[in-house]
Amino acid sequence: MMGALAASVVSCGPKHNTLTEQEIADGWQLLFDGETLDCWKDYNGTELHNWTVVDGCIQAAGSGSDESGYMVTRQEFDNFILSWDWKLSKGGNSGMLYHVVERPTFAVPYVTGPEYQLIDDKGWEEANDPIKLEQWQRCGVDYAMYLPDFDVRDSIMNPQGEWNNSRIIFDNGHVEYYMNGTLMVEFEAWTDDWFERKNSGKWTMAPEYGLAQKGVICLQDHGYPASFRNIKIKELPRKAGKEVELFNGKDTHGWEAFGDIKASVDKDGNLVIESGKDKKYGYLATREYYDDFDLTAEFKQGANGNSGLFFRSIIEGEAKVSGWQVEVAPKGNDTAGIFESYGRGWLAQIDDEKENVLKPRDWNTLRVRVQGDNVQTWLNGVEMVNLTDEIIGKGKGRIALQVHEDGDIKVTWRNMKLTTL
């Protein structure tokens, strides 16, 4: 029945969904072969529902909603050129999302993945009169973030019921949106301007929106039939070797506080994190994701040094960070060991004879190297952990400094630098 409904909306005509020899040589791959949906599945699922193949097109049944109807690739992508053709039903509403993170924490993909909005502006407003679309909701926008010149868009976009082609280029943070070969939107992700937009509009309550540097591609069934074909992608190289000063010695620019924590910069230009007034868990997290990196930082513990450096971690709620922690704690408590907050607990504790490497009430140098599924830590030049873990290898997220609950905790940090791998 759903296939019959979708078939009645559009017919795809001649065969598509192929690559030329030159495209194959250039590294393009099809995400849809015109016959099967083997490359796709439900968001946060293993099977696929509500999507069908009709006449060589992927067709959304139109039974989805804000809470359901999302189809994602089985493969993750980081830097790429993504091209696809699309056709909407009258008043149709859909979208192409990317860098979507799959975790049970996220009920819907748009709280993590940016969206190239696809919508029949005129038909939608006619069907929903007197409700009007906001500018940031219109077709071709980077949803709720960046807008095209709508006069240019109107001059090159084919009307509802006809095919359009769109293209997204994501190249190490430089982003371009095209429609029918014309550049519509261009911006740099993760700049001060990008974060100002993220934190002042629709995404203020979605702390992980747009931060992932790698994720699945997602198509949206938003309650309207829609058709897609010629979906193809070319992966672009990731640029490693970027040197980042996580702390500038002046303020906490580039960091975000969650939970019960006080963060300040002392007279010597050091970063001080302390327990808040309620002595609950607190975190100071980077506003950006760092997945593969080699980091060094110096720390000095106060009266109670129960802390930690989280990596590949996400914010869940107001005061919970989930991910992996390099322990920073008083002597005898496995400083530089690896703890997982998802439920497995300790993954790597340190040998007893290495407990004396920690220098209480003095400066210590911590080095953390994370690449793929391997994590290595060093404390004051001594290797403490060398762990390979498949689940860590699938993780992505922020770096965060923790203060533990139930104590007057104070830890001072300085010289926090990393190199991306």
Question: Is residue 256 located within the same domain as residue 229?
Answer: no
What's the rounded Cα separation, in Å, for the pair 86 and 233? 15
Token pair belonging to 21: 């020899």
Per-residue pLDDT, averaged over 333-338, amounts to 97
Question: Is residue 199 located within the same domain as residue 300?
Answer: no
Task: Kindly report the pTM of this predicted structure.
Answer: 0.93
pLDDT of 362 higher than 80: yes
Model confidence pLDDT, tens digit, residues 78-121: 999 999 999 999 999 999 999 999 999 999 999 999 999 999 99
Domain-ending residue, one of 235, 253, 272: 235
Residue 9 has what pLDDT?
45
Can you say whether residue 355 is alpha, beta or left, with left for phi > 0 and alpha for psi between -120 and 50 degrees?
A: alpha
Q: Using alpha carbons, select from 376, 332, 371, 369 the residue that is nearest to residue 351.
A: 332
Model confidence pLDDT, tens digit, residues 12-65: 555 799 999 999 999 999 999 999 999 999 999 999 998 999 999 999 989 888
Domain holding 164, by residue range, is 2-235
Question: Is residue 104 located within the same domain as residue 128?
Answer: yes
pLDDT band at 133 (very low <50, low <70, confident <90, very high): very high
Question: Is residue 217 located within the same domain as residue 318?
Answer: no
Token pair belonging to 322: 């989930």
Question: Is residue 76 located within the same domain as residue 199?
Answer: yes
Token pair belonging to 40: 């796709």
> Where residue 175 sits, what CATH number does that domain have?
2.60.120.560
What's the rounded Cα separation, in Å, for the pair 67 and 231? 24
Domain-ending residue, one of 235, 256, 281: 235
pLDDT of 220 higher than 50: yes
Question: Is residue 262 located within the same domain as residue 155?
Answer: no
Question: Is residue 309 located within the same domain as residue 355?
Answer: yes
pLDDT of 7 higher than 70: no
Residue 114 has a CB neighbour count (10 Å cut-off) of: 27
Is 368:326 a contact under the CB 8 Å cutoff? yes
Per-residue pLDDT, averaged over 229-244, amounts to 98
Token pair belonging to 392: 């860590």
Per-residue pLDDT, averaged over 414-419, amounts to 98
What's the rounded Cα separation, in Å, for the pair 80 and 16? 21
What's the rounded Cα separation, in Å, for the pair 295 and 291? 11
Residue 15 has what pLDDT?
77
Lowest mean pLDDT among 17-21, 317-321, 323-327: 317-321
Q: Using alpha carbons, select from 281, 259, 286, 260 the residue that is nearest to residue 271.
A: 286
What residues are paired with 93 via a beta bridge? 119
Model confidence pLDDT, tens digit, residues 163-188: 999 999 999 999 999 999 999 999 99
Residue 5 has what pLDDT?
34
Domain-ending residue, one of 216, 235, 254: 235
Residue 14 has what pLDDT?
56
Question: Is residue 78 located within the same domain as residue 163?
Answer: yes
